[in-house]
Structure 1
Amino acid sequence: MITVRGLRVLLGGTVIVDGLDLDVADGEWVTIIGPNGAGKSTALRAIGGLLPFHGDISLGGTALDRLPRRERARTVATVAQSPVVPPGMLVFDYVLLGRTPYVPALGRESASDLAAVDEALVALDLVDMRARRLDTLSGGERQRVFLARALAQGARTLLLDEPTSALDIGHQQEVLDLVDRLRGERGLTVLATMHDLSIAGEYADRMVLLDGGRVVAAGTAREVLTQELLAKHYRVRVKVIDGEQGPLVVPVR
């Protein structure tokens, strides 16, 4: 469970997130949406312990600032929008980095660490790519590798920052279907940020709309993705069509 109360984040003296309250239940998928500059990624990074913040954040009932760094990494895994990958790194070695919180200082990875990596590679259908360099993979393949590292980390909470931003529509669906399947199989909790509103509404149990660093709407996709709310906060004309899994948002001239 993720509980956020009064989250405030400043970057360079500017308030980016201002008074965010958020609850994500165990096993739930919540997606944060909003226009560019709304504070989505900043909020996600703060919740993952990657930015200083004011307010209260707790993971599984424990305050974030009371979790030692290693314990925090075993609790929550963040998949960044564009992770930094060392040149020439192999898939297996990158996924193995997810086991860093379990390796003693000056120690080596154990048999259980290697087994966790193998399990993640199998789960994301990456076994045949384990010896490939990441820079030789397609965007969809790389995204699966980033998720594999997060799974190998053993965390029950996934923070996904724009997980499909660099993918075509086929790979977007493939990656999100995979996350949803793993959520069901492993009881994962997912908090994501996304730009594509129609796709976001297809997968999220609930959505939170940010604008100017504040929550301006929250609820199911059908409650949040309305023509009125989107026109007001995205400053765009759209048509919202009710789809089988959620609303379909179509820009109109």
Structure 2
Amino acid sequence: MNALEARGVRVTLGGATILDGVDLTVAAGEWVAVIGPNGAGKSTMLRAVGGLLPAAGAISIFGTSTGRLSRRQRARLVATVAQSPVVPAGMAVLDYVLLGRTPYVPPLGRESTADLAAAREVLTRLDLHRFARRELATLSGGERQRVFLARALAQGAPLLLLDEPTTALDIGHQQEVLDLVDGLRRDRGLTVLATMHDLSIAGEYADRMVLLAGGRVAASGTPREVLTEELLATHYGARVRVIEGDHGPLVVPVRSTASGA
């Protein structure tokens, strides 16, 4: 079964068409990276899939049309990690992660013992248990990114949407977060749909890639099929060299002219 099927997705914001007939399929257990130049519609696509934006077209999650899912039902199937999540001032790490259990809490009710256990299990899995009572704002960038991921994982949703999950992280923390996601994907059978800015990192982790340009799908396929010098020159206006790596193609920028001594 496919985790996600989107057909003819169209999103218009403020009179401007951001997505114009996008088709996207993600198989259960697959990691698909959405790439493209700035303004291509990558984040908009994730927000449409996650139900955060109204969209025309057809979107189904694990075989059920999103139009037939309540907000609570959708939250049990899809968890999202935004680029810059809003964190209430003074909130402790455990309390923030417990927000991921909201789809299971009855109206006017409180988190159950099972909800608390689920949150603590995720904190332990992500090596965050020692920060449970710390204010989220006091953590490092890499630690905060793991907390954002922990909240999404606490939802128990099988489809994980990551919007630029390594933004503002140094290379060590980038690898830490992405290795963690990849390990959890394999251990838990998660499906991952992620927008990614760094093309080499995207090629290392993704099973498939979708290149968006101008709100449309310009290319899709394996990283080796999408990360070509020709496609990147056409849609990014970039001069690059694509080198074969151990797990996928590596994209290296090439200077247009050599400076004199």
Shorter-chain TM-score range: over 0.9
Report the secondary structure of 1:191's partner residue: strand
SS in 2 for 1:245: coil
Q: Which residue of 1 aligns with 2:68?
A: 66
Unmatched segments (≥5 aa) in structure 2: 256-261
Q: How many residues align?
A: 253
Q: What is the CA-CA distance between 1:65 and the residue it aligns to?
A: 1.4
The CA deviation string for residues 57-115 of structure 1, in whole angstroms up to 9 with x for no partner, is 00000001110110100000010000000011100000000001111111111111011
Counterpart residue number, 2:115: 113
Residue equivalent to 1:130: 132
Give secondary structure in 1 for the equivalent of 2:156: coil
3-state SS of the aligned residue for 1:43?
A: helix
1:81 correspondence with 2:83: yes
Compute the TM-score of the two structures, normalised by the length of structure 1: 0.99
Q: Deviations over 1:118-163 (max 9, x none)?
A: 1110111100000111111111000100010011111010000000
SS in 1 for 2:20: strand
User: Aligned partners of 1:244, 1:112: CA distance in 2, in Å?
Assistant: 42
Q: C-alpha separation between the residues in 2 aligned to 1:166 and 1:160?
A: 14
In the other structure, the counterpart of 2:98 is: 96
Match of 1:179, as an amino acid?
V
In the TM superposition, what are the counterparts of 1:1-253 in structure 2 within 5 Å?
1-253=3-255
For 2:122 and 2:222, the matched residues in 1 are separated by 31
Offset at residue 33 of structure 1 (A): 0.1
* CA distance in 2: counterparts of 1:143 and 1:66, whole angstroms: 32
Residue 172 of structure 1 aligns to which amino acid in structure 2? Q
Aligned residues: CA RMSD: 0.5
TM (norm. structure 2) is: 0.96
User: Hey, which bits of structure 1, 4+ residues long, moved more than 3 A?
Assistant: none
Equivalents in 2 of 1:62, 1:37: separation in Å? Answer: 30
In 1, distance between residues paired with 2:69 and 2:248? 37
The CA distance in 2 between the partners of 1:174 and 1:65, in whole Å, is 36
1:166 CA displacement? 1.3
Kindly state the Cα deviation for residue 236 of structure 1 after the two structures are TM-superposed: 1.0
- Cα distance, 1:219 vs structure 2: 0.5
In 2, the alpha carbon distance for the partners of 1:69 and 1:250 equals: 42
The Cα offsets for residues 157-212 of structure 1, whole Å up to 9 and x where unpaired, read as 00000000110000000000000000000000000000000000000000000000
Secondary structure of 1:250's counterpart equals strand
Q: Could you list the per-position Cα deviations for residues 221-241 of structure 1 after superposition, in whole angstroms to 9, with x for gaps in the alignment?
A: 110000000000000101111
Partners in 2 of 1:127 and 1:2 — Cα distance?
32
Amino acid at match of 1:97: L
Gap runs ≥5 in structure 1: none
* CA distance in 1 between partners of 2:83 and 2:114 (Å): 29
Q: 2:128 corresponds to which letter in structure 1?
A: L
